[in-house]
Structure 1
Amino acid sequence: MKGSLTYSKAGVHVTTADRFVEELARLARRTHQKGIIAGVGGFAGLFRDARSRSGLVWAASSDGVGTKILLAARPKELEAIGIDLVAMNVNDCLAVGAEPLIFLDYFATSRLRIPQAIAIMRGICRGLKEARCTLLGGETAEMPGLYRPGHFDLAGFCVGVVRPETRLQGPPREGDCLIGLASTGVHSNGFSLVRRLWGRSLTPSLKDELLKPTAIYVRPVLAAMRRHTVRAVVHVTGSGWQGNIPRVLPDRLAALITLGSWPVKPIFAKIERRARLSKQAMFSTFNMGIGMILVVPPREAGAVVRFMRLRNVRAWDVGRIVRRKQREPQVQFIE
């Protein structure tokens, strides 16, 4: 759209990152040992220890919070960032059918400020308690000269296990339904664009809306996996719908999304108007009110929606898996 402020104009080059991941995956394959099921490029890596009799499959993920951390200053805001860090990692493990078990954090700053660090760690521990995951260790690094005074960065690392009762029953099939689970808001992606849009003019109420912690879906989704047939799980993070749904689909299939089948939060309309972005650009950058998508057989769709709502997770049937024609995109929209 003419005159729009895109993610790339805000300084985030998704296509460059995609090319890097492709090259990284090629390099990583040189390190592979027997037992690798899924390596670089998925929501989380998967590994089966061939030397163990248990046959358990282990999952590992790593992620950060991005430039959302630049908006956080007060203790409550910093605590929310800690929750974000946990959510980004445990939800990625969940997307491969894994139950998160242990977590490590990395906190880097110019100078260690105890109140700031404690507020963040309090949030991390809150998030881990919600996910029933253990903080096993981490690293705190003071690096004067690398970060501006008061600035910091965070990374998380999560290890989980794929148990037989929660193993995904994939791959997705033509006719399967897409069950969208409500996000709490923007979650932890798109903030380089958001900060460019508002700069220092953020009102307190808008800032509070933007800093709502990312939803942690572990308990309800694991419960759904035990009770229902779940073929695939999509964690809607960076690159939005277009970047994440194709990660779980065979090339011959596409997702047909029904616009209007769920309520899009007002914050996304504000961003769309201010940035003058097309719907296509919005869906390729933000979660648009859906933080996680479960791919289930059509016979299970209604039951899964009810199951989630009984656990206080708003859920909607937002689309279908369809056969993909040559050169068609893997994520399509209808009104």
Structure 2
Amino acid sequence: MTNPYEDAGVNVESGYQISKFVKQNTADNKSNIGNFGGMYEIPEGYKKPVLISSNDGVGTKLLLTENGKLDTIGIDCVAMCVNDILAQGAMPLYFLDYISTGKIDDKVKKILTGVIEGCRQANASLIGGETAEMPDVYSETSYDIAGFSVGICEKDNVLNKSNIKADDILIGISSSGLHSNGYSLIRKIFFKDHDFKMDSVLPELPNGSLGDYLLEPTKIYVKDVLPLLNHKEIHGIAHITGGGFYENIPRMLPDELSAVIDTNRWVKNEIFTAVQKYGSIKTDDMYHIFNMGLGMILAVDSKEAATVLAELNKSILQAWKIGDIVNKTKNSIELTGVDA
């Protein structure tokens, strides 16, 4: 006897199997996964706790996973949420995912493998989620993913614009590549304008195929930045996502201050050279769109800059002094070494 829901194209049992998969791979949350709502006990020791939340997806980057490489896109989803929470000065606590597809099959497990790994890197609990089988809305091979995360911070320690002072030093922390922004343009450049393939090897990209570079997951900064927040060494954070430097850095600045940045002070991933070359993009426009090798930028007191740099670079060189906060003269951000 057939199930009428299955006759309509929805396999209920496959959803149950996904819940079982998550339970088996998140041992600390076995009692939570599968309930009607995710539960999380607020940690003790906070006097005036503030909960800070974020939700996001990965945009059209997920279209590049059609070649079957699905185990990193979940990291991207977690990263886009927890890095935003970190930029407010908060410690990520938990994460929930939402995956919708035309057919629940092995691809969902592969995607969730990335989600679980992203939560591990962020030290955040995966306390729930939803996997929706939606035939006719999606094809059997297509899907979308979104995430929701919550973090916690003492109210007095929330990072806000009033913390930033003139003469603060700007420190940039390296990105892992493009992260999860600008992929509509990326796909146009490489696959429409030049007809490259994911396995194409370009001279500008010596360490792998084009697909390897494009699917490199977004860097999660929790383990690097959280100790600095706990020691109150950071005045402000800009998470460099869509809109690049020009949109995201001013979001942490008060109206009376500007950021002056020397773009020659850090090492940039080769992917940005390739994007600019094959897209014939002006350098200034690159900084309007992409992270250009820095996924997170910190504003710190000038007296703390050397300590912060030493802490960030204690195991690998990944952070540089890139500029200063100054009294505002004209624009919220000035980039030296950039041609219009």
TM-score range, shorter chain: 0.7 to 0.9
Q: Which residue of 1 aligns with 2:99?
A: 107
Whether 1:160 aligns to 2:151 is yes
Deviations, residues 75-133 of structure 1 (Å, cap 9, x unaligned): 5x3111011111111101000011000111010111212x1000010110011011110
| Structure 2 unmatched runs, 5+ | 1-45, 200-208
Give the alignment's Cα RMSD to 1 decimal: 1.9
Whether 1:117 aligns to 2:119 is no
Q: Which residue of 2 aligns with 1:83?
A: 75
Asked whether the equivalents of residues 228 and 300 of structure 1 are also in contact (C-alpha less than 8 Å), the reply is: no
Q: Which residue of 2 aligns with 1:72?
A: 65
Moved over 4 A (4+): 164-167
Whether 1:196 aligns to 2:188 is yes
Whether 1:55 aligns to 2:57 is no
Q: Which residue of 1 aligns with 2:312?
A: 308
1:269–1:206 CA distance, 2 compared to 1 (3 A):
same
Q: Write the mapping of 1:265-304 to structure 2, written as runs, cut at 5 A.
A: 265-304=269-308
Q: Which residue of 1 aligns with 2:118?
A: 127
Asked whether the equivalents of residues 110 and 146 of structure 1 are also in contact (C-alpha less than 8 Å), the reply is: yes
CA distance in 2, matches of 1:89, 1:62: 6
Given residue 265 of structure 2, which amino acid in structure 1 is its aligned partner? S
Describe the SS at the equivalent of 1:320: strand
Shift of 1:227: 2.7
Match of 1:235 among 239, 243, 249: 239
Deviations, residues 1-37 of structure 1 (Å, cap 9, x unaligned): xxxxxxxxxxxxxxxxxxxxxxxxxxxxxxxxxxxxx
Q: Write the mapping of 1:141-152 to structure 2, written as runs, cut at 5 A.
A: 141-152=132-143
Given residue 73 of structure 2, which amino acid in structure 1 is its aligned partner? I
| Structure 1 unmatched runs, 5+ | 1-52
1:92–1:156 CA distance, 2 compared to 1 (3 A):
same
Match of 1:138 among 116, 129, 139: 129
1:165–1:215 CA distance, 2 compared to 1 (3 A):
farther
Deviations, residues 29-75 of structure 1 (Å, cap 9, x unaligned): xxxxxxxxxxxxxxxxxxxxxxxx94211100001011000001355
Given residue 130 of structure 2, which amino acid in structure 1 is its aligned partner? E
Given residue 334 of structure 2, which amino acid in structure 1 is its aligned partner? Q
Q: Which residue of 2 aligns with 1:216?
A: 220
Deviations, residues 144-186 of structure 1 (Å, cap 9, x unaligned): 2222331111100000101479644852111111100000111
1:188–1:141 CA distance, 2 compared to 1 (3 A):
same
1:149–1:219 CA distance, 2 compared to 1 (3 A):
same
Which piece of structure 1 moves more, 165-174 or 84-93?
165-174
Describe the SS at the equivalent of 1:310: coil
Q: Which residue of 1 aligns with 2:334?
A: 332
Shift of 1:294: 0.7
Match of 1:187 among 179, 203, 206: 179
Shift of 1:211: 0.7
CA distance in 2, matches of 1:213, 1:333: 27
CA distance in 1, matches of 2:96, 2:294: 27
Q: Which residue of 2 aligns with 1:29?
A: none
Higher CA-based Rg = 2
Asked whether the equivalents of residues 178 and 319 of structure 1 are also in contact (C-alpha less than 8 Å), the reply is: yes
CA distance in 1, matches of 2:316, 2:91: 20
CA distance in 2, matches of 1:130, 1:164: 25
Shift of 1:283: 0.5
CA distance in 2, matches of 1:105, 1:313: 33
TM-score, scaled relative to structure 1: 0.80
Q: Which residue of 2 aligns with 1:18?
A: none
- State how many pairs are aligned: 280
1:242–1:275 CA distance, 2 compared to 1 (3 A):
same
Asked whether the equivalents of residues 110 and 151 of structure 1 are also in contact (C-alpha less than 8 Å), the reply is: yes
TM-score, scaled relative to structure 2: 0.78
CA distance in 2, matches of 1:310, 1:303: 10
CA distance in 2, matches of 1:244, 1:91: 13
